[in-house]
Structure 1
Amino acid sequence: MRKSFLFSYSGGADDWWNEIGGSKQWQSGPTYYILSASYALVSLVALVQLVRIQLRVPEYGWTIQKVFHLMNFLVNGLRAVLFGLYKSVLLIKPKALEMLLMDLPGLLFFSTYTLLVLFWAEIYHQARSLPTDKLRPAYYIINGFIYFTQVCIWIFIRVSRSPVAVEAARIFFSVISFGTALGFLIYGGRLFIMLRHFPIESRGRQKKLEEVGWVTGICCTCFLIRCLVLAVSAFDKDADVDVVNHPILNLIYYMLAEIVPSALVLFILRKVPPRRVSDQYQPIK
């Protein structure tokens, strides 16, 4: 019987956790369908927001804001499908294919939210009259390197079939998550401080200050949670979230690390851009 590091203490909670872990009712019950429905709802919200933005400013093409909502739609939609078919997905052999299906949305989630870091970095650099020409190439290079490295890890897992390769994959994702949290902290913090010291008081400034502060806090927290859980799961098999007999741990982890943060960020960034040209709303070239 397996138990999580989150419930490793003895007593009633431990017995309760073991009972759930060994219960066929829980393993085949509604937990994964709840996750699937939650992801589907977030995906739908992102799609609706994307359509609203497109209808408001169709002339701007694919902006960072539109790409962000499109990727949210894709990431959450893919998660919804995977958890809806969890009985098949989580039991796929070989292990490399299962990890590919479960890790790919995590990579896309990383790319989606680092778009916000890129957007804030561009705003900060423009406001400080710093060069911005290297920011987008850096975003593409970093993402390309991470995807290439992850593909190499998947191939290594398939060829070697060694548990060390699986541990390496978890550690790699943990490092990525920590780096993303650090990126939000650096550029979200810089932008927050810059807005706070902006000399002109206005309602728009205050709303933007709150927006940056909340999104920074939410994204830092969710990526640090991912970092911690993945780091622990690399060395403790009982902490692995992507297994059938951890229904509650899966629910808690994905709710805290992806679903709730995504829903909150989409809510905070729900305002569509004005029809007039804005310096903060530039098309992706």
Structure 2
Amino acid sequence: MQTHLIPTDGLRPCFYTINAMVYAIQFALWLLLWWKPIQVTVILSKIFFAGVSLFASIGFLLYGGRLFFMLKRFPVESKGRRKKLQEVGYVTIVCFLCFMSQCIMVCFNAFDKAADIDVLNHPILNFIFYLLSEILPSSLVLFILRKLPPKRKITQYHPLH
């Protein structure tokens, strides 16, 4: 069995750079909305957020799917293989559906006044939206991944005689 090693040296700096750029753009859009709230800027901000949610959902589907199929290729007798397959599959599906539904809702919100999700005057509706799009999926992921791997036992060092 041949393993393919993928270089991961640049992943962390790339992750930080992408996140910093997304937050900087979102912060700039918020400042622009605060300074001069014109309709084009409002729509642009919502489209940007929908795009971020779309790329997040695609990322979860792509990398979660790759991890799922990589684990599926492990030998059947591998310890914990079935449980890990379920965990990875559930987390991938929950995160994909969460971000994709958020993307769709924000797109509707950008172009349809009746589909307004900025319901600050209706705290119950606001709570329901964030419960379904943020809190429930996060809770499901935490529930699925609730069992941490066991701690490694420290073995005593025995000098060779």
State how far apart, in whole Å, the 1-side matches of 2:120 and 2:13 are: 40
Over the matched positions of the two proteins, sequence identity in percent amounts to: 52
Correspondent of 2:81 among 194, 199, 205: 205
AA at the equivalent of 1:154: W
Contact 2:61 2:92 in 1 (8 A): yes
| 1:254, distance to aligned residue in structure 2 (A) | 1.7
Q: Which structure: larger Rg? A: 2
Structure 1 stretches (4+) deviating beyond 6 angstroms?
Answer: none
AA at the equivalent of 1:156: L
Query: In the alignment, what sits opposite 2:35?
Result: 159
1:1-285 to 2 correspondence within 5 Å?
128-246=4-122, 249-276=125-152
Query: In the alignment, what sits opposite 1:16?
Result: none
| 1:170, distance to aligned residue in structure 2 (A) | 0.9
Superposition TM-score, scaled by structure 2 size: 0.86
Superposition TM-score, scaled by structure 1 size: 0.50
| 1:163, distance to aligned residue in structure 2 (A) | 2.0
CA RMSD across the alignment:
1.8
| CA-to-aligned-CA distance 1:3-54 (integer Å, 9 cap, x gap) | xxxxxxxxxxxxxxxxxxxxxxxxxxxxxxxxxxxxxxxxxxxxxxxxxxxx
| 1:159, distance to aligned residue in structure 2 (A) | 2.2
Cα 1:248/1:228, change in 2 over 3 Å: farther
Q: What secondary structure does 2:80 align onto?
A: helix
Q: What secondary structure does 1:201 align onto?
A: coil
State how far apart, in whole Å, the 2-side matches of 1:161 and 1:218 are: 34
| 1:134, distance to aligned residue in structure 2 (A) | 1.1
Q: What secondary structure does 1:276 align onto?
A: coil
State how far apart, in whole Å, the 2-side matches of 1:239 and 1:249 are: 12
Higher mean C-alpha displacement, 182-191 vs 241-250: 241-250
Q: How many residues align?
A: 151
| 1:149, distance to aligned residue in structure 2 (A) | 0.4
State how far apart, in whole Å, the 1-side matches of 2:125 and 2:35 are: 30
| 1:240, distance to aligned residue in structure 2 (A) | 1.6
Q: Give unmatched runs, 5+ long, in structure 2.
A: 154-161
| 1:246, distance to aligned residue in structure 2 (A) | 4.7
**Which of structures 1 and 2 has the larger relative contact order (alpha carbons within 8 angstroms, sep 6+)?**
1
